[in-house]
Amino acid sequence: MGRTRIRDIRHEELIQATISAVHRRGYAAVTMAEIAREAGASAASINYYFGSKEKLMEATMRRLLETLKTAMLDRYALAGSPRERLMAVLDANFDDRLFTVEQCSIWMQFWANAPHTPSLARLHRINRARVTSHFRAELRQLVSASRMETVREALQNYMDGVWLEAAQSARLDPAHARAEARRVARLLIDAEE
């Protein structure tokens, strides 16, 4: 196993500081100096490693998307059927490593800023396409073609709504969120036409 580079450690510290500071103050209001203080660093170090607040936000969202991807792969590895893989997609989106108040908060601010920031818009499109693709692949085998897009859209909108509400919460229970998402999925999949 290779040694962790100082640069990688510093990146992680600045990303964690970004998550905390943006949650507390909001992306528009937070300054580079506040993020740096949170990390015990200087604003110059953020400029050195990232160049701008926008690039720091992009790096932070890339880290969260990587966490989501890891959660998906971990859960997919245990799934043996289309229904189990669909539940794995839902479970990954409410994974303990991802579904925290601070991370839900920054995710909402990411969504709010994506239409105005090309690099964030690109990340949003990639993530949306990935989740859509996963849902379609499994739903194709679970519901009729005439219902597939309605069920997919309902599940994605449900997840987004839970995340939006979570961003405004004081505390979260990821296990409960996973159980409820599974319940909603079962209701949608098993519904009569």
Under a CB-based contact definition with an 8 Å cutoff, are residues 165 and 94 in contact? no
Length of the chain counted residue by residue: 193
| Interatomic CA distance for residues 85 and 75, integer angstroms | 8
pLDDT tens-digit map of 127-180: 999 999 999 999 999 999 999 999 999 999 999 999 999 998 888 999 999 999
Asked if 136 contacts 127 with a C-beta cutoff of 8 angstroms, the reply is no
What is the model's pLDDT at position 10?
Answer: 79
Domain boundaries, the chain: 6-190
Tens of pLDDT, residue by residue over 22-40, are 999 999 999 989 998 998 8
pLDDT score of 5: 60
Fold of 6-190: Tetracycline Repressor; domain 2 (1.10.357)
Q: What is the model's pLDDT at position 48? A: 86
Statement: residue 67 has pLDDT above 80: yes
Structure tokens at 107: 């995710």
What does pLDDT average to over the chain?
92
Please report the pLDDT score of residue 41 as a whole number: 86
- Identify the band that residue 92 occupies on the pLDDT scale cut at 50, 70 and 90: very high
pLDDT digits (tens, 9 = 90+) for 98-113: 999 999 999 999 999 9
Q: What's the pLDDT score for residue 3?
A: 62
Residue 11 has a pLDDT of 83
Q: Are 86 and 135 in contact (CB under 8 A)?
A: yes
The pLDDT value given to residue 190: 92
